[in-house]
Every structure is written in structure tokens, then in C-alpha cells.
Copies of this chain bind each other. A is one copy, B any other.
């Protein structure tokens, strides 16, 4: 099964030096056409046929991989492109008045960045790599005019934006109504699900973000997040050692998270 090797690869990349990490990425991240991209079912061109896929492929630019802490774009930068994560991960965050930052999301392979910038023409948040990360850049003008030609692409684009709105609303519910333990539980299950959808293990994975980022994202203090991790471990729900997580009891976690049933049949989401 691909799941297992994929996981191993990921855990390896996390543990090993950047040198080796880079080598792994170079192998399948750069100069691969969309139709050969292992993510092509998850990213934009889902349900696009051969000829159309090539058209899309032509407008996509592949960038050199970002190193950890490098920015993909900064706050206020003029909006030119949509980005797709090819491998690695990023966080998006915006500055708040009091000089803090607010983490608005984490982005795993196959996920999009920049959709929130279309409206104003500039990025309301910054995007920073959490680890070595490779990215596809899709110039928005080209994407827009290509969508004009290809109804399925337009449809897919609207679907993806709609999904983002939907997901944001779930998060609003989380932030508005749920307890600290429900938030962390939901967060872990969400990451788990997203890994699964991308062919990685859903029961064992490495978190690329710090406790601080998690806390910030979930609207909690770092200390609270830390305590929750400890408690979950004590209760046998997870095993945790720094960034390494093993989900031991998904059922109970789901109850704690107060999950809607609807959040489950998300399998063919993207």
C-alpha cells in the first residue's frame, strides 16, 4: 500500500538533514507535468481531461523549493497567482493591531493558497514555509481566461472556493463554541483526515507546525495546548512525542471534538 511508504518518506524527511530532504524533493517535485503529478487528483485539474490538462499545465510555473521560514508571499503584496502546495507545508498568518500575528491556516500538499486575495488584489495574509516546501504557481489572469474556455475548470475553481468558505465556517464554530480540548481534538482529526486524503497515514504523522502556531490558530494559549496534549496522552487518546503524533482512539476523539456526522464523509472532498 502506498500509505505506508508515503508515511515513512515523510517521517524521514522530517528527521533527516535538509540536504537529504532536498534530494527527495528534487526527484518528484520539479519539472513534472500536471498529468504526471501525484497530486493531480487533489489539486485544481480534477475531472479535467487530457487535452485540457495540458493547457493548464502550460500556464503553471514551478518555483524552486522554499526553505523553512521562507515566505511565499508577504502581507499586502500584490496578488498575481494562486499557489498549490506540491510537497511540504506552509502556514498563512496576518498581523493584528497589537503587533501579534494571527495564524489563519495550515496548507498541506494538494491544497491551495491565495484565494482570499482575489477580492482586493493584494494578499491579506503572509505565507511562510514550515519546512522545505515546493509549490506550483498558477498566474491568476491565465487561470481566469482558461476558466473562460474550460467550463469544468471554472466549476472546479468555484467548488474549491466554496469549500474554503465552508471550512472557514466550521472553524468559526470551533473558535466560537468549543472548549480547548474539543478544539485540539478537531484540529488533530482534521490534519489526520487531510493526510489520509493525500495518501499518507491518518493514524501516525508529524506536525510541521510549532505548538505556538497551533495555539495561535486555535485561539488558545500555548500552555493550554501543551496541557491538552499531555492530557490526551494520559487518557490514551494519542501518543505524542514532540511533533510525532499517533492517533490511538479516533472514536473518542471524535466525540470530544463534537464532530458533526457531516465532517466524516469528507472523503471525496477536493
Contact = CB atoms under 8 A, between A and B. Distances in A.
B97 A159 contact: no
- Of the four ranges (under 10, 10 to 19, 20 to 34, 35 or more), the interface on chain A belongs to 35 or more
Contacts of A147: 154
16 contacts: A95-B260, A96-B258, A96-B260, A97-B258, A97-B260, A104-B172, A115-B162, A118-B159, A118-B161, A119-B159, A119-B160, A119-B163, A144-B155, A154-B154, A158-B158, A176-B217
Given A144-B155, A169-B104, A117 B162 contact: yes
A209 to B, nearest CB: 15
Interface string A141-166: 00011011001001101111111111
Interface in A150-190: 151, 154-155, 157-166, 168-169, 171-173, 175-177
Number of this chain's copies in the assembly equals 2
A120 interface: yes
B97 A259 contact: yes
A160 B165 CA distance: 11
Given A115-B162, A260-B96, A176 B173 contact: no
